[in-house]
Structure 1
């Protein structure tokens, strides 16, 4: 093998190593931690009789919970999934801000089909989720 071929082989090995390192070190979503548990096991102010997990996991198709720390330093738990909202099937995303000590949280922002919901629309979406839960409970009685 000539020196040029040795160099090409060496370069290929280095590039493959970089690629493998990138794949194994790629940032993965955090889907299980204390901040997510705080939201799932908690209650929203107007719906203190049903855990967030129960209501949203029932109303959303394939709910996906993830955690990240925002650039502002806030702890954010995001819930996403498909849902029927105002008669339209679509994808919703809700973001909860969790306190540093993971004892309190509040619903911060929400989107439906990539449109940011205002306070009234956000309240309507949350109310609909809990109404769906209540109807399910009545159906089982």
Structure 2
């Protein structure tokens, strides 16, 4: 109770700060602190709630040997658990903690919906920095919590199937990434039996560059990153808009020994633009750019590559489109 009184007193102090601080940035910072204090107050007030305790002490079906509280508290920093009853009457246990998503620190908020009298629950909505995330992102997060966690090696006796599935899925987190202020990034791509190079970095006199360098002839070819909609991640000078980063990888969609080149520009939360290029060795023989664009699209936060399939999540309701790469083109499933 003493701890709860201290938290309430702290929230009153923060509230008074909001009235006296004139700077907008300071007000926003103070509001965030006030929100954090409010969450801690609710967490303290509901820490002994039976629904909250059932979730913290429970296990997910896919990871029956690991207690949820131990896994989450180990993966996230500043973990907070609280309970509330939704307007619909649902019993909600809400977890809040900080983690890194696509190399950015985010505040994650994940809800568990508890069924009264049945002793079961399901995973509900997920948000990063108050932005709703889709079902695929939620699946990736759960895998990261459990399969990248020390508990995997110590407590789970058979994770070979889960680990194989995780390694076969390639998301933006597995791409090479470049951002302003960093030197050019060069990494390999396999084209027609030879190891070539993808180069990401600053262009001259302005803008960015995404190129494939053919080592045998010491020539670089640009990857055309043209938007096909009214929206774009670039400003009028070809520079990335604030918050966006450049990603690229090679992926052999059709298993012919030659990678397709996938480039994406994403803010990591709500906007992702992506391009796929195929390699045409005949064009190279004539001195033309051998990287031909075969697909362009936009997504909410991520794209997933697996075998010959490109999966694109959109919206906040777990929706996604899937495309199969066949005969040099992507066909929607």
TM-score (norm. length: structure 1): 0.72
Q: Distance in 1 between matches of 2:58 and 2:104?
A: 28
TM-score (norm. length: structure 2): 0.32
Correspondence for 2:142 among 112, 122, 126: 126
Q: Distance in 1 between matches of 2:122 and 2:95?
A: 13
Q: 1:113 to 1:67 in 2, by over 3 A?
A: same
Q: Which has the larger radius of gyration?
A: 2
RMSD of Structure 2 on Structure 1 (CA): 1.9
Q: Distance in 1 between matches of 2:56 and 2:118?
A: 12
Q: Which one is further off, 127-136 or 108-117? A: 127-136
CA contact (8 A) 1:35 1:102 kept: no
* Structure 2 equivalent of residue 94 of structure 1: 110
Q: 1:97 to 1:135 in 2, by over 3 A?
A: closer
Deviations 1:47-103 (A, max 9, x none): 212111111010111100000000000000000011112322110000000011261
What 5-or-longer segments of structure 2 have no aligned partner?
A: 1-11, 13-40, 155-333
Q: 1:136 to 1:87 in 2, by over 3 A?
A: farther
Q: Does 1:82 align with 2:95?
A: no
Instruction: Name the structure with the higher helix share.
Output: 1
Aligned residues: 112
Q: 1:137 to 1:102 in 2, by over 3 A?
A: same
Deviations 1:100-136 (A, max 9, x none): 1261111111111222111110000111111232368
Q: 1:65 to 1:104 in 2, by over 3 A?
A: same
Q: Does 1:66 align with 2:90?
A: no
Q: Which has the higher contact order (CA 8 A, sep 6+)?
A: 1
Aligned ranges for residues 1-141 of structure 1 at < 5 Å?
Answer: 29=42, 30-101=46-117, 103-134=119-150
What 5-or-longer segments of structure 1 have no aligned partner?
A: 1-22
Instruction: Name the structure with the higher strand share.
Output: 2
